Structure 1
Amino acid sequence: MSTATQNPPKAGAAVRGRFGALPGWARSAIVVAVGVGLLSITATQTGQIQLTSSGTTQAAVRLLLPILFAALGGLWAERAGVINIGLEGMMILGTWGAAWAGYQWGPYAAVVGGLVFGALGGLLHAVATVSFGVNHIVSGVAITLLGLGVTKYLSTLVFFPVSQNPRQSPRVEAFETFSVQPLADWLLALEREQRVVLSDVAGLLGGLLSGLTPLVVLGFVLVPASYLLLWRTSFGLRLRSCGENPVAAESLGVQVYTYKYVALLISGGLAGLGGAALTLNPGQLGYLEGQTGGRGYIGLAAMIFGNWRPGGLLAGSALFGYVDGVQLRAGGEAVHALLYGASLLAVGLAVLWAVRRRWRTALVALVAGAAVYAVYYSTETVPREFASYAPQIVTLLVLAVASQRLRPPAAVGVEYRRGEGD
């Protein structure tokens, strides 16, 4: 009798093996389908149809965009071995640069202005960490503080004579929106029919295909572009080698300092684009002191949640942007309904882990789901103060859950000096 016959694979291992054997796009499609189904059930059972409406989806896209740009910026920096906690400061610089250029020459100039000012912050981080060996965390915090101070000074100097407000710029011209026609109209019409599941899917897809701007398209294009550049080109291989083993990379002829500088310039530019996305947001259309609201840090959390991969950070950005969009568009009642969905998700995860024979984890998930449902059942809404911090709370919870499977670049945050391998 063969060994395979004597020791048949466990059910959990078989399920995990079949799922793991699927291509990445198929696994992502399954996860998205489960998420949409969960939202549809939640919207139907709680009566909060705003959870799957096209308006909420459009708001979520606008809100996830700055987080997505910041997360991509963090990806480029940390894949090259440099921790970029200064994303928030670079985003702040980007908001000011976008407002200044946008006020002068329009929305396309605003995008360029945000990119350039953010890249300047990335360059400063590169000089401090790569050339002078400053601790990455110290440099990042200093850049954030510097960004706050510089933009406040520049706003007083440049914007105050025009807007009569040292904390706010004049109004910036917005991009014209467009939709993918005729598909968007058909989906929005199907959403209005309020059919179970079908209208929920139509609302989510319709929101993704309508109310678009060139900056939204750029943000979504940069996700696969970053993957192709970092994982499918020799340039990306060399850059990632700087974050895994810079000494070995140098021994093979890789100009480690050059690649780190390039990565941080791109990182800062992407964070600056996040600032431009805030400046060009239809709800603001200009620079406002404090408008980043910690989104640079949330972008860093989205990147960590995504395990330093473009597809994963897109999912993390979408999660945080969606929760923010729900609380802004529908308020505490919709956030309260999400507690019902969270309890269903916890129960589903408990079943999955039980199939994999991870009994302790399954029990913890089941208890957590029961606790969340008890909160949902015993309350009617979520206080406004709590709902406004829902994205930050989700950030903490997601990082706590995802911490077990993270695999950062091996040499990220490690100080490197040229010639160490000699």
Structure 2
Amino acid sequence: MTGQTHTRRVAAILCLIPAAYFLATAGYGLLNFADYASDTPRLIRYVVGPLGIVAILAIVAVFVEETNALVVGITATALLAALFVFESYMTYRVLPRQMGLVGAVDDGVSLERFRNAMPPAYTIKALNKERGVETLDRAVLASVPGEEVFLCSRGGAPVSYRADRFGFRNPVPAAAPPIDVLVLGDSFMEGICLDDGAHTVDQLRGSGLSVVNTASRGAGPLFELAVLGRYGPYFRPDVTLMVFFAGNDWENLLHETAFPWLAQAFEPDADFGPVEWTEDQLAETAEIVDTWWQGTAASTSELFQRRAVLRNFFALQQTASVLGLHYPKKTPQNPEYERTLRRAAEIVDGWDGRLVVAYVPPVARYGGMFDHKFVHEPLHRMVLEAAGAAGVPVVDLTGVFDAQPDPRALYAADSHFNPAGARLAAEIILDYLETSGMVPQ
């Protein structure tokens, strides 16, 4: 009898270990209900499924014959341990590649020539926050002019570009106005971790069009609207290409509307500020940038501060991605995107230009044992509907990317475009602009 009691106790403990993990998973989903449990796919994935496993293990621990319960407990605990072993392996593989985004370099590599510009992973919005900006005309909307910008590291060595007179990634000198295409976007269009000539905007430029790139890391739709308001009237492009990255632009917009100085871009008489940097902007930026470089910039510590590495590890994120079970947060409705597009269209109307949205799908849409494109479709649909309501045409990269034999082969390990992805994106965009008659063939 004592032996049976001991076996039952051990079986209960072994069943309790994985049950506790899945109970915590369901609890996290419920505590973050709007993000992870407010629609059927996420409710099943993050709450119902884990609670089902908890219920099965609890029944086994209490009601199943002790020897069989012990076998189930051992098996369940071993499977959970195996998942964490696999997660450790995947994290070990992925982390070194992600370290490139924060600019971690090999010992002995000097970063002195980059210290007058922002470190990798720091954004212009963060710079303005540090400066205490309250009005749009005082805001900085580009990198430091004329400085070498440290984009990332690749193989332990820096990848960089020299900013133009405005602070953007363009050949020097930049194209003279009026131009064919002005590109608004985030790190995808800035060309993170891609050399000059390999990123999407340079691929467009290679077609013979006069193109100006104003993209910068961390930019969202409202920030891009501010950039358009400041630089659009100067360059007077035939086409303004507003690139929407589905991985984070919707969330970026939610955060950007909380900045009073960015919200001023919606005002009909907004003062967007001068295209040239002022002495005050240069001096304030230099002081803040120097402080950043003296901190954890371009280090492993920066990676762990900026990415929830431990949380993602315990959530088995890499394993879930391999299985196709890592679902993004649910996308809430946001009427500000349509409002942003309408305001952008008003601005480009000032010089009889055209506004076009380019939709870029995230790598998270692809891969995994189980197809999960359906969880990305609500955002895809909302963007297309907002653009349609605003009367703005969309060049949608999703269809062509979906049709590739392996869409993941278009993305680098850091989830941005690799050269092949950048080239295909440029081909799709250029074909759309030419066939629609917006630019000369």
Task: Please state which structure has a larger fraction of its residues in strand.
Answer: 2
Task: Please state which structure has a larger fraction of its residues in helix.
Answer: 1
TM-score by length of 2: 0.23
TM-score by length of 1: 0.24
Larger Rg: 2
Higher relative contact order (CA 8 A, sep 6+): 1
